[in-house]
Amino acid sequence: MIDFHCHILPGLDDGARSFDESLEMASIAQSDGIKEIVCTPHIKKRYATPTLKAIAEAVQELQSLLQSKRIDIRLHSAAEVALERNLADLVDCGEIPTIGGAERFILLELPWERIPRYTSTVISELISSGVTPIIAHLERYYQVIVDPALAWEFVEAGALVQVNSGSITGMFGYDAQVTARILVSHGLVHVIGSDAHSSGRRSPKMSAARDLVKDMVGEEQADKMFRLNASEILAGRLPKKEAPRAYKDSKPGSWRRGLLGKLVFYLSRQLRGLR
C-alpha cells in the first residue's frame, strides 16, 4: 500500500513532534503493510510554512534514519496545500511542492468552514498550468457530507480525490464514514491516505480500510485506490480514471442542510478534537 497523505515529517506542522515519533510512525506503517509514504506537511497560513528545501531535507534525513533502523519504507516529498485564490500563480512561481514529473499534481486542502465558490476556478487554473489537484479528504467537508454530488462536480472538472482510511473505518465519525463509502462506491475516489499525525490515535494504518473497500468494490478497484493510482501519480502519470457515477440521492435529512445541521457538525468535530 502507498499512504498518500501523512504528516510524518517532524517539526514542520502539527504532525510528528520528533524524529523518534516519525520512526515510531514508520514502524507502525510497516507493520500495517504500507510500503511507501507521501510526506505531506501543511502549507497554510496558520502554520510557519516549510520551504521546499526544508521538506526535501527532512525527507532525506528521515529516509536515512529508516534505512539505519532497517524499516523498509520509501518516502516521497510533497505537501498538503491549503486553497488560495492565487494558488495557480504560486505553483507557477515554484513556491509550492508538486508531486510527479511530466504530469504534476498537488494535494489540495479546502477550508473546513466553507468550500469557496472560486474553488472550481482555481481547479481550472491549476489544470491549465499542467497541475492536477488531488482534493484531500473530500469526505470530511461539511458541504460534501450534506451533498456528495459536489464530489462528482470536482471530478468532472478534472480533479482527483483522496479519502482518509480512518473515514472508511469510522474513526472520523458516522457522517464521514457514510460519505466516504458513497464516494468509493460511485467511482469518485482515486487515492487513499492515513492523514496520520502521530504514533498515537492518528497513526498511519490503512489495512482495515483496504479490507472494507475490497469487500465493497473488489480487489482490483481496491488495489487501484490503495496502490496503483498513487504509484502512477508518483511516476508523473495521470492514473486511468473510471467514469464516475453521479450521486443523485439526497442522503441526509433536510435539517442537515440548515444552520442546525452545520452547528451539530462543528460541535461534534470540536468535541472529538479532530483536525
Q: Residues in the site for Fe ion, rule: CB under 5 A?
A: 80, 195
Residue nearest Fe ion (C-beta atom)? 195
In angstroms, give the least distance from the CB of 193 to Fe ion. Answer: 8
Alpha helices in the chain (DSSP H): 19-31, 52-68, 87-92, 119-128, 142-146, 149-156, 165-169, 174-185, 207-217, 219-223, 229-234, 259-271
Lookup result for grid cell 475490497: 214
Please, what is the minimum distance in Å from the beta carbon of residue 24 to Fe ion? Answer: 18
CA dist 99 and 94 (Å) reads 12
**Cβ proximity to Fe ion, 7 vs 186, nearer residue:** 7
What is the residue-wise DSSP string for 78-116?
--EEEP-TTHHHHHHTT-S--EESSSEEEEEEPPSS---
**Closer residue to Fe ion in complex, CB, 147/195:** 195
Q: How far is the CB of 199 from Fe ion (least distance, A)?
A: 16
* CA-to-CA separations, 211 to 28, 30, 181, 183, in angstroms, rounded: 18, 17, 13, 16
Q: Which is nearer to Fe ion, 140 or 256 (CB)?
A: 140
Question: What is the rounded distance in angstroms from the CA atom of residue 160 to the CA atom of residue 126?
Answer: 12
Nearer to Fe ion, 39 or 234 (CB): 39
Nearer to Fe ion, 32 or 195 (CB): 195
Decide whether 43 or 212 has the Cβ nearer to Fe ion.
Answer: 43
Provide, rounded to whole angstroms, the least separation between the CB of residue 208 and Fe ion: 19
CB 231 within 8 A of CB 2: yes
* Location of C-alpha cell 521538506: 55
Nearest distance, CB of residue 198 and Fe ion, angstroms: 12
Please state the closest distance from residue 80 (CB atom) to Fe ion, in A.
5
Report the 10 Å Cβ neighbour count for 242.
15
